[in-house]
């Protein structure tokens, strides 16, 4: 089992065996002001939205840790809520999400696009990639941290970030996100201190077993470039970028 597979398996184990429910969801601190809707016809209410070309009946999305395609099938088979076709569609989407393929459904397409455009592109990658690199450390023996990052990125780019593969309607968003990747890689290639300092900090975090997101939030920028990358990353993590992203999709 690879380090990545172990991490995903641990996600499942924690959810199954640990108390992951918050003790206080803070609903007791919320008071709803009564507002009658008696003059509103329920048939006039439309909650549907379109996300990456797929029509959703309500703007609610739930993410889950499945531990990979095979594990997802095993978990889903334990629920009567899904029929075989639905399980097969979810399985295929997870199986195909790693690299570009001829998508067999909107689920597969949406999963691939959201994973690659949001998780593998953008300023966030500068802070997050060291974790992925450490999980595949045996691929980069004897390399410096900059060489490891550049090697990882070139490998990912050749397999996952093929610029001409994305649907035309996502191109503006893809170009925006990839510019962050390319500018950061360019800076590392030039051995600029500001970018090297970011990955040094994150490699140290992983080495010490610290929480990556907590480390990102506590990162102290030393110059304008680090401030720019950190703000973009935190805005993404905190969900503040999605309104801007949405405007890039026609």
Verify that 89 and 204 share a domain, yes or no.
no
Q: What pLDDT, on the 0 to 100 scale, is given for residue 153?
A: 85
In the three-class reduction of DSSP (H, G, I as helix; E, B as strand; rest coil), residue 141 is classed as coil
Return the pLDDT at 61: 60
Indicate whether 74 and 197 sit together in one domain.
no
115: its two tokens: 């994973």
Looking at the structure, tell me whether residues 62 and 85 fall in a common domain. Answer: yes
Q: Are 146 and 90 in the same domain?
A: no
Q: pLDDT at position 167, please? A: 83
**Residues near 185 by beta carbon (within 8 Å), at least 6 away in sequence:** 150, 153
CB 195 within 8 A of CB 187: yes
Contact between residue 103 and residue 96 where contact means Cβ atoms under 8 Å apart: yes
For residue 129, being part of any structural domain is answered with yes
Q: Which of 208, 123, 193, 119 has its CA nearest to residue 161? A: 119
Res 202 pLDDT > 80? yes
pLDDT at 229 over 90: yes
Cα Rg, the chain, nearest whole Å: 21
Could you tell me the residue range of the domain that residue 106 belongs to? 1-7+48-112
């Amino acid at each position: 089992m690879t380090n990545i597979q172990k991490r995903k398996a641990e996600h499942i184990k924690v959810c199954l065996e640990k108390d992951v429910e918050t003790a206080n969801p803070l609903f007791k601190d919320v008071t709803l002001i009564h507002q009658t809707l008696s003059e509103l016809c329920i048939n006039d209410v439309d909650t549907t939205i379109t996300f990456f070309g797929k029509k959703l009946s309500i703007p609610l999305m739930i993410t889950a840790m499945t531990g990979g395609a095979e594990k997802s099938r095993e978990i889903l088979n334990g629920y009567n809520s899904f029929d075989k076709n639905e399980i097969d569609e979810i399985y295929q989407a997870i199986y195909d999400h790693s690299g570009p393929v001829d998508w067999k459904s909107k689920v597969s397409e949406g999963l691939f696009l959201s994973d690659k455009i949001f998780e593998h592109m953008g300023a966030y990658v500068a802070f997050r990639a060291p974790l992925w690199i450490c999980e595949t450390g045996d691929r980069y023996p004897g390399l410096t941290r900059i060489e490891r990052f550049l090697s990882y990125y070139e490998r990912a780019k050749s397999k996952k970030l093929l610029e001409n593969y994305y649907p035309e309607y996502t191109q503006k968003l893809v170009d925006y996100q990839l510019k962050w990747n390319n500018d950061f890689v360019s800076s590392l290639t030039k051995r600029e201190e500001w970018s090297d300092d970011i990955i040094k900090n994150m490699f140290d975090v992983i080495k010490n077993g610290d929480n990556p997101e907590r480390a990102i939030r506590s990162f102290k920028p030393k110059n304008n470039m680090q401030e720019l990358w950190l703000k973009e990353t935190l805005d993404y993590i905190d969900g503040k970028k999605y309104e801007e992203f949405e405007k890039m999709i026609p």
